[in-house]
Amino acid sequence: MTQALPKIVTFDEFITWYPENSGIRYELYNGEIVEMSQPTGKHEKIKGFLVRKLSVEFDRLNLPYFIPNQAIIKPPERESGYFPDVLIVNDQALSLEPLWDKSSTLTNGASIPLVVEVVSTNWRDDYYLKLADYEEMGIAEYWVVDYAALGARKFIGNPKQPTFSLYQLIDGEYQVTQFRDSDKIQSPTFPELNLTVEQIFMR
């Protein structure tokens, strides 16, 4: 008995296919459409809290940033497309984005000062797949918010513990700094951010 292989689609086919108002979120991983699991209430509260705090921060600094409700990150030369939990976009860089007007898609790391993934059951995507692609794209800062300690021990320690991992692009490679408990987040993008891990994880 043979097993049918999943249909491989291009990014353009994915965009055309994507169902509107279905209540289900999908991402494209190397040509394969993947249905995202339904997020937990805590996941959504943490995401909403970060959106609120970060919006206040870039408004206060009068930066040309905004947080889109739904925008896609497409790594170059790959049939993939990701919907991050929180995505900060530099409005002044959008003129160099060829897919923005048509499909709210970003392909240049320079357009993205910061991207955030709040870890859920598909933690491998955040720690392996997206980490590598965001680094390759040149996204300056990437947060992996692992409030439930779901990631592998090599990422969050042994024994596992809730961890906020901040990846900063230095000389083309991500360098990670990790924060836990009462640690204050030290963000290169928002150096005056006054926020501790406990404040985020207690949502």
Please name the residues in contact with 155: beta carbons below 8 A apart, sequence gap of 6 or more.
127, 144, 146, 163, 165
Share of the chain above pLDDT 90, in %: 88
Q: What is the mean pLDDT of residues 52-59?
A: 96
Angstrom distance (rounded) from CA 17 to CA 93: 28
What are the pLDDT digits (tens) for 117-169?
Answer: 999 988 999 999 999 999 999 999 999 999 999 999 999 999 999 999 999 99
% of the chain surpassing 70 pLDDT: 97
Domains and CATH numbers, the chain: 40-201 (3.90.1570.10)
- Residue 44: pLDDT over 80: yes
What is the overall mean pLDDT for the chain? 94
pLDDT above 80 for 8: yes
**Confidence band, pLDDT 50/70/90 cuts, at residue 1:** very low
Question: How much is the pTM?
Answer: 0.94
**54, pLDDT greater than 80:** yes
Please write the tens of the pLDDT for every residue from 172-201: 999 999 999 999 999 999 999 999 999 999
